[in-house]
Structure 1
Amino acid sequence: MADVIFNEPKIPSEAHLEYSNSARIAKWIMRNSGGAIKDEKQANLALFIFSVAVILVSLYFILFGSISKPPDEALRNPTIGLPEK
């Protein structure tokens, strides 16, 4: 059983798989930028700037978005909203 020989063509695994060095999202940005982004380096820079902007906006809303002061009437009469004795 160990002497079985298969007559299959030897195709290297890299021959039928086409890998690109650039990421798919970078290609998508280059294709859909309307010519503003011309190469992969610019696409990666645009992705980085977009990521930083999203993080900064998220931090702003997390840190400052929920700060609210009590209504003016509650400041004048602090017993509003408390249970009656």
Structure 2
Amino acid sequence: MAKTSELESAFDAAIAEVQKSMNTGMTAIGGEVATPYLQQLGDELRVERAKAVERGAVDTEWFQKTVRRLVEWLPETDLTLIAALGRIVRSTPK
């Protein structure tokens, strides 16, 4: 099991990155404002954070679905959110 502090830290960093993207007014790949996508992602991260800390691991199925949805709207030039999600999955042992 991953250390709780590693999981918490990884989720907290991803949530902070979502907030930063909202604060900068990120635009989705289709040109629309990304705020609704970012709000949904932030909400999902907060819910999954609590579950993952309790389990001591990230739900792989949740992670895969989340990344697939993210790449549908995330601009190709901004990979910070993908990197933040990568940190979450790396905090869980294989």
1 or 2 for the larger relative contact order (CA 8 Å, sep ≥6)? 2
Mark the structure with the bigger radius of gyration: 1
More helix by share: 2
Whether these two folds match at TM > 0.5 is no
